[in-house]
Homo-oligomer: A and B are copies of this chain.
């Protein structure tokens, strides 16, 4: 693992996710820009001292020199460092699990895509919410035609934690409002990309063009903290996306609704064990995670029976276990299938960066329709 040391948030989640299904063992890392603190953290986490590194370059050197070097590295650092770190590991033959957004610029994302292609490495992107079992169920229900041809997608991702100028004394917030470290998109980059990915993941639709109106409500903030985006999908479907970091009352309120010709599906991240399904002329049903009659891929992502809630850590674990499955398939020279085929890889990361670029371009040009370069 790179980053994710003391005081970091997402690194801990990656560790839970690696551990829960017993698919990974955390054996090495460079956990902190402050090497001292990083080593202390490593010691607390049962990492052998000789595998706690000062920085990622040292880790690459050290691990590639070992017989039992790491198979895969998790990159849990601020956005602007994803690119050089991921490139270096891939070029050293070590697979990568990377936080989103993939990079801060589209150029970097394209370059990284080329690195993956040329090295043949694997790069998994942690679009967390696509790991939820009922999202898998929704995706399969759409694909199997249970709601008919999709007409409109409503997706929103409001948060409240940056409703005031928290960046002044919160490190997690500080880099997120610095364009150099975060990239061009504020809320749209941090959380809008999750919403965008989820909408496409479930609906199966490819966006045709986007049109945006960004706003910054907290004084002195350099990036958007509220974004409205209209979307047109190939084939005529329409989408509406709202991301906000200033929506008081919303903890982590990602919500996706997909309406088709013969039914609809609704899912809310804060009650993730339920999928709301309404067939045309039928009654609204609450589909519950854990039941025997769900799709196999849904069941492959579930650990407990109906009514025994799973949550965010389990969703994250599903990505990790999906990455493991993909790597196993690849290593055995089998086609990647099942849950391994359902996890986001480099192209999903590239699409996310292209989406942010298109949204910001649209806004800067006075709200015009823009086609993302990758979609």
A252 to chain B, nearest CB (A): 3
Which of B19, B163, B313 contacts A22, CB < 8 Å? B19
Taking the complex as formed, is A253 at the interface, i.e. its CB lies under 8 A from any CB of chain B?
yes
**Other-chain contact of A251, B45, B159, B260, B288 (Cβ < 8 Å):** B288
Interface centre among A20, A152, A154 (most CB of B within 10 A): A152
Interface string of A260-292 (1 = CB under 8 A from B): 111110100111110011111001111110100
Complex copy number for this chain:
4
> Which residues of B have CB within 8 Å of A272?
309
A306 to B281 Cα, complex, angstroms:
12
* In the assembled complex, A312 has its CB within 8 A of some CB on chain B: yes
Q: How far is the CB of A197 from chain B (nearest CB, A)?
A: 17
Beta-carbon contacts of A295-319 to B below 8 Å, as 1s and 0s? 0000000011111111111100000
Tell me which residues across on chain B come within 8 A of A262, comparing CB atoms. Answer: 248
A236, B214: Cα distance in complex, Å: 11
Indicate which residue in B13, B217, B232, B285 contacts A284 across the interface (CB closer than 8 Å). Answer: B285
Contacts of A279 in B (CB 8 A): 248
A276 to B313, CA, bound (A): 24
Q: Does A324 sit at the interface, judged by CB under 8 A? A: no
Contact flag A228-B246 (CB < 8 Å), given A211-B211, A211-B213, A308-B311 = no
Contact B310–A304 (Cβ < 8 Å): no
Closest to A132 in B: B309
Question: A246 touching B151 by the CB < 8 A rule?
Answer: yes
Q: Taking CB as reference atom, which chain B residue is nearest A278?
A: B249
Q: Which residue of B has the minimal Cβ distance to A366?
A: B369
Residue A16 at the chain B interface, CB threshold 8 Å: yes
- A174: Cβ under 8 A from any B Cβ: no
A54 to B171, CA, bound (A): 53
Min Cβ gap A48→B in Å is 15
CB contact under 8 A between A12 and B248, given known A284-B286, A308-B311: no
| B-chain residues with CB within 8 Å of residue A13 when the two chains form the complex | 303-304
Question: Does A215 make an interface contact (CB < 8 A)?
Answer: yes
Q: List 8 A-B contacts (CB under 8 A).
A: A151-B246, A152-B226, A159-B307, A240-B242, A251-B306, A272-B309, A273-B311, A285-B285
> 13 more A-B contacts (CB under 8 A) besides A285-B285, A304-B313, A308-B311?
A12-B303, A15-B22, A19-B22, A152-B244, A163-B261, A213-B232, A226-B238, A249-B284, A251-B290, A269-B307, A270-B307, A304-B312, A308-B312
